[in-house]
Amino acid sequence: MSHNRDDESALAERSDASPAPGGSAAGRPRRELTAWRNAVFAVFFLSGLSMASWVARLPAVRDYTELSTQGVGLVIMGGSIGAVLGLIAAPWLMARVGARAGMIGVLVTVSVGLVSVGVGGSLLPSVPLVVIGLFLFGFGNGAVDVMMNVEGAEAEREIGKTLMPLMHAFFSFGTVAGAGLAAVASALAISVAVHLGVIALLIAGGVVVAVRYVPVREELGDDPHDDTPRAPWTQRLRESLAVWADVRLLLIGVVMLGMSFAEGGANDWLALAVVDGHGYDATIGAAVFTVFTVAITAARIVGGPLIDRFGRVRMLQALAAIGVIGLTLFIFSSEPWMLIVGTVLWGIGCSLGFPVGMSAAADVPDRRLAASRVSAVAIIGYCAFLAGPPFLGFLGEHFGLLNALLVLLGLMVLAGIAAPAAREQSGPRARAKA
């Protein structure tokens, strides 16, 4: 795919593009930008599909393998360890093979992990096989989470619109689809192995098709045959790690940590909390988790225009308050309607922390630096997203799952306090405040 568009028709096609957030005007034809955006949407969707497909079948895997609550937490820790290693490895992988090949490789790894979890969780019940599968699943998802957010932030900059919440909405579309399909599979008594095997095939095939429309970008190492002089990958890796000294960036990471912990806690424990904490059956647990995914998806769909109108800081502070109210209702509910309302508010409250953090991290003029900053805060957010649930499992074993969720209340408050770090640094809103 060519990147040199010198003819006048291409320039005219780009002439009405508004300045990208934190950077210059878009530099590609609208057709190519749209294909790039849609490809990133697809990768987000596939990642969400994989996540919800596993989580919604967790009660069935727990029953087949006869694990205790703490045992489930320890098994999940295998996936969390893999995810943390994937997050750490992602900058290295992008520097070595580029984001395009990297996204294919790690989502295929996710597919292999899902197959292993399915076999070990139902066909041939085996805790070690489930742990190995979750490690591969976690590694692949951890790495692709960084890569797709780097691609998404750059596409948002070049298109010139606030798109990151919508990109994360596509992750939520994936979780809605995954949770819904899992609920149907559970109701029809379809085995975990067959269900996750089909999902694995969809993910592996889908990423190969989608990545074809992601542009080759030299700064991410996508084209090793490019003759343009560039720094060695080791130097590019050192540059990507240097952004960790930025205090404002770390505070943005705090916002993402708090809200991602709340989202990750829901993804891994909400269904079980409904079953073990509130006394409903596994199908109801999957259905309530579906309500959560619908709420977070809807909030992300409308999030972009609301951010443009009210600004990042006010939106994050409002969402933190909504999340606290929702968690309180969910934990202490005594009526079904309180449980549902709490679940909806919980989903809304943690919906925009991650995508807004991505946009705030990328809000700098230097595109190479923007990619490194996005990678850094993605690591912070996803470490909370994936490493937090085992901690909740430990607390749940000793104090009960509903009591363990009280931790999320404090983290939501902390995210609200750190929200000013996400204030706009460029664009019309930033100029208005100057």
Within 8 A by CB and 6+ apart from 300, the residues are: 165, 166, 168, 169, 172, 351, 352, 355
Is position 227 within any domain? Answer: no
Q: pTM for this one?
A: 0.71
Q: Which structural domain range is residue 199 located in?
A: 23-222+234-433
Is position 6 within any domain? Answer: no
Name which of 259, 348, 364 is nearest 306 in CA terms. Answer: 348
As for how many domains the chain has, the answer is: 1
Residue 116 sits in a domain whose CATH number is: 1.20.1250.20
Is position 1 within any domain? Answer: no
**Range of weakest confidence among 10-14, 39-43, 177-181, 339-343:** 10-14
Is position 285 within any domain? Answer: yes
Helix axes of 127-159 and 30-56: crossing angle, nearest 10 degrees: 160
Q: pLDDT for 111-170, tens place per residue?
A: 999 999 888 878 887 888 888 999 999 999 988 988 888 888 778 878 877 788 888 888
Is position 90 within any domain? Answer: yes
CB count in 10 Å sphere of residue 132: 18
Within 8 A by CB and 6+ apart from 198, the residues are: none
Local structure of residue 31 (DSSP, 8 states)? H
Is position 400 within any domain? Answer: yes
Is position 28 within any domain? Answer: yes
Q: Give yes or no for residue 388 having a pLDDT over 70.
A: yes
Is position 4 within any domain? Answer: no
Separation CA 174–CA 319 (nearest Å): 22
